[in-house]
Amino acid sequence: MPNPPFPACAPDTVLQVSALLPALEETLSEHFRTVRLPDLPDPAAYLRDHGGDVVAAVTSARVGVDDVLMDALPRLGAIVHFGVGYETTDVVRARARGIDVSNTPDVLTDCVADLAVGALIDVMRRMSAADRYVRAGGWGTAPFPLASRMSGKRVGVLGLGRIGRAVARRLDGFGVRVSYCTRSPVPGVGYRHLPTAEALAEASDALVVTVAGGSGTEGLVSAAVLDALGPEGYLVNVARGSVVDEPALVAAVAAGRIAGAALDVFADEPNVPRALLESDRVVLLPHIASATHETRAAMGDLALRNLRRFMTEGVLLTPVPEASPSAH
């Protein structure tokens, strides 16, 4: 439904910054005076003339609220993210302006962990490649090449936060020996802590990346980490594309310096390097780790509850920690 025209002295407005879950978009426009930025013919003109009406912004984890937009909203009090990652918004800058920031932790943890483990099995057992092989009529012409066993292997979890711990718990059921790397050891977990990503890769048959995105983890999975993983090693990334040095990954895959990779996230989504598209050793997913009906509904609900609480009581329900969880 189109938004109503603005009165001369407009009431508090909620700015929808990016496309969101359709059900969430609908509820926003039903319950709040919502303006959808992506639908505006001239967003800059709107921000110039009406930026002062906006008190809350709702955005996706992938888009956030950039500095230019933040500056155009002088009365902004809350940034509500649909998603757990929020590295796209400068939280320190927001807080300095008195703007609080929320995300949707926990509700997506299980689905992201399910997908990470599924992707790990897929790339090691070559399930997607075998599917392509059957479809292409290969079965019956030559046997499909043998793959690698996943059960009982050594898996390194890079980032043992909510999602990393859920991945590790699942891997326990496969008799996997889990090690992990975080900046500080996590109290009360039985897994071996390794101090660097390189040491973790060296000690692992597969590396599952679940760290937070942002400047603190940019390029953390470097060429050296990939070399430490080695030609028998597999990489799974469900965190952010920025965490992996993508050109180094492309080179490692092309040269067979790692055995394979399963990637849900990329440096420049939705663009995937051609060399990865052409490799049968790589599983490619379009950023779908949280994309189930159940989880997206729960994320929408939590984002909405954050917005409601802010609009009625001036506080958020699940505010993010002070700085990005990967910032040093």
Query: Which residue ranges make up the site for ligand 8YV (CB under 6 A)?
Result: 60-62, 82-85, 108, 287, 290
> In terms of CB distance, is 28 or 84 closer to ligand 8YV?
84
CB of 112 to ligand NAP, least distance (A): 5
Active-site residue identified among 36, 81, 165, 240: 240
- CA–CA separation, 12 vs 31, rounded Å? 12
Q: Which residue is nearest to ligand NAP (CB)?
A: 161
Residue 264 in the binding site for ligand NAP (CB under 6 A): yes
- Whether 252 and 226 have beta carbons less than 8 Å apart is answered as yes
CB of 84 to ligand 8YV, least distance (A): 4
Half-sphere exposure of 35 (CA within 13 A, CB side): 23
Is residue 287 part of the annotated active site? The answer reads yes
Single out the segment in contact with ligand NAP by CB under 6 A; choices: 146-154, 221-229, 255-263, 285-293: 285-293
- Whether 222 and 245 have beta carbons less than 8 Å apart is answered as yes
- Whether 212 and 112 have beta carbons less than 8 Å apart is answered as no
CB of 61 to ligand NAP, least distance (A): 7
- CA–CA separation, 258 vs 226, rounded Å? 7
- CA–CA separation, 236 vs 199, rounded Å? 17
Q: And the tokens for 178?
A: 């889990």
> In terms of CB distance, is 34 or 324 closer to ligand NAP?
324
- Whether 228 and 257 have beta carbons less than 8 Å apart is answered as no
Which position among 29, 290, 306, 318 is part of the footprint of ligand NAP (CB under 6 A)? 290
Q: Which does 163 bind (CB under 5 to 8 A by kind): ligand 8YV, ligand NAP, none?
A: ligand NAP
> In terms of CB distance, is 128 or 148 closer to ligand NAP?
128
Look at residues 20, 35, 17, 24 and name the one whose alpha carbon lies nearest to residue 301.
Answer: 24
Is residue 240 part of the annotated active site? The answer reads yes
Active-site residue identified among 33, 281, 287, 308: 287
Residue 239 in the binding site for ligand NAP (CB under 6 A): yes
State the binding string over 153-192 for ligand NAP (x if CB under 6 A, else -).
------xxxxxx----------------xxxx--------
Cα 319 to Cα 93, 151, 324: the distances in Å are 15, 38, 12
Q: And the tokens for 204?
A: 């692992």
> In terms of CB distance, is 13 or 182 closer to ligand NAP?
182
Map residue 20 onto helix, strand or coil. Answer: coil
Q: Which does 216 bind (CB under 5 to 8 A by kind): ligand NAP, ligand 8YV, none?
A: ligand NAP
Which pairing describes strands 177-181 and 192-193: parallel, antiparallel, or unpaired?
A: parallel
CA angle 132, 138, 143 (to 5 degrees): 110
Is residue 75 part of the annotated active site? The answer reads no
DSSP letter at 37?
G
DSSP letter at 25?
H
| 312, β-bridge pairs | none
CB of 179 to ligand NAP, least distance (A): 13
- CA–CA separation, 269 vs 125, rounded Å? 26
Q: Which does 273 bind (CB under 5 to 8 A by kind): ligand 8YV, ligand NAP, none?
A: none
Residue 261 in the binding site for ligand NAP (CB under 6 A): no
Where do contacts with ligand NAP occur on this chain (CB under 6 A)?
A: 84-85, 105, 108, 112, 159-164, 181-184, 210-213, 216-217, 220, 238-240, 264-265, 287, 289-290, 325-326
Residues recognised as catalytic = 240, 269, 287
